[in-house]
A and B are shown apart, each in its own frame.
Chain A
């Protein structure tokens, strides 16, 4: 089954988000109150290793498992969309204590109330798609 590897990668992601407690509302509060290094350590380690991985892939023109070159698409240049969109995302991140990944990992922990936040996230995405052209980008 071709899709199995994505399920396995997702399982690894779900486990690491759980075991590092990054899915916990408490840990996100601790981060935004600058009272622990924990979340900064997680994100910092991932980014530093990510920079090295990305550099090596580009430097040695590495290919994926099918032999296609691994390409990185540069993001469009803009300030308002990243800043305004980012701030709105952050408001929700601190309120629910979850970003999109942990929203779903929490279902696995039996926190059924999170389904309401997921419903809200789908509604928010839909609303963006509807009014997208009226927003500064």
Chain B
């Protein structure tokens, strides 16, 4: 059983478990949306004293911060106990494309060229992660949600605004992939 869990899970089991997590949160009287945690963190750090966007009862969102803590623990459990140590099995076409921009084939979960401490200490590596993170935080709040809030919860409720947001996610992602990445690397 453990051997089976240690292998990468096929997409259909993953999609089903994600839908189950959404159902669990609805049953707990909450809704599935991860990026609101970033706003809660700003509010908990006292941003509400200066800006009214952060002036709300963030303690009512403690449940979502606990969900965030759980997500980190889930990462720890996966990497410590449920990993077979094999590299991510991406397609040959992607491996070849990435080689052309100087990213070597997967050795683990993430590329060394981006996530190693050496890469972090270069100007390029530092800016990629900082600005990438900034766009995620700014964009998800501007759009009122991220992949969990819009692509999963919103689309499940057949919300047109969520479909527009998801189309935006893809436009932005395609611009970075096809335009920016070849320029950066």
A interface, CB within 8 angstroms of B: 3, 5-33, 35-39, 41-51, 53-54, 57, 64-66, 68, 70, 72, 74-79, 81-101, 103-114, 116-130, 132, 135
State A46–B114 Cα separation when bound (angstroms): 29
Across the A-B interface, how many residue pairs have beta carbons closer than 8 Å? 484
Q: How large is the interface on B (under 10, 10 to 19, 20 to 34, 35 or more residues)?
A: 35 or more
Q: Does any Cβ of A come within 8 Å of B60's Cβ?
A: no
State A14–B148 Cα separation when bound (angstroms): 13
State A3–B51 Cα separation when bound (angstroms): 29
Majority secondary structure of chain B interface residues (helix, strand, loop or mixed) = helix
Contact present for A86 and B130 (CB under 8 Å): no
User: B165 — which chain A residues lie within 8 A by C-beta?
Assistant: 82-83, 85-86, 89
Q: Of A45, A81, A88, which is within 8 A of B16 by CB?
A: A45
Q: Of A17, A31, A72, A77, which is within 8 A of B71 by CB?
A: A17
A64 and B139 contact, Cβ closer than 8 Å, known pairs A12-B74, A42-B11, A95-B128 = no
Contact present for A32 and B110 (CB under 8 Å): no
Majority secondary structure of chain A interface residues (helix, strand, loop or mixed) = helix
125-181 of chain B: CB within 8 A of chain A: 125-126, 128-144, 146-148, 150-162, 164-178, 180-181
Contact present for B11 and A64 (CB under 8 Å): no
Shortest Cβ distance from A39 into B: residue: B11
User: A9 — which chain B residues lie within 8 A by C-beta?
Assistant: 21, 24-25, 28, 67, 70
20-40 of chain B: CB within 8 A of chain A: 20-31, 34-35, 37-39
The smallest C-beta distance from A61 to any residue of chain B, in angstroms, reads 13
Contact present for A103 and B156 (CB under 8 Å): no
The smallest C-beta distance from B84 to any residue of chain A, in angstroms, reads 10
Q: Of A8, A21, A104, which is within 8 A of B109 by CB?
A: A21
The smallest C-beta distance from B132 to any residue of chain A, in angstroms, reads 3
Shortest Cβ distance from B12 into A: residue: A45
A18 and B177 contact, Cβ closer than 8 Å, known pairs A38-B11, A85-B143, A120-B129 = no
Q: Of A20, A27, A118, which is within 8 A of B90 by CB?
A: A27
Contact present for A108 and B151 (CB under 8 Å): no
Shortest Cβ distance from A120 into B: residue: B133
A122 and B15 contact, Cβ closer than 8 Å, known pairs A65-B29, A88-B139 = no
* Given A68-B29, A84-B142, A91-B135, 7 additional A-B pairs, CB 8 A: A13-B70, A14-B78, A83-B165, A92-B135, A103-B136, A108-B78, A125-B39
The smallest C-beta distance from B120 to any residue of chain A, in angstroms, reads 5
Contact present for A82 and B164 (CB under 8 Å): yes
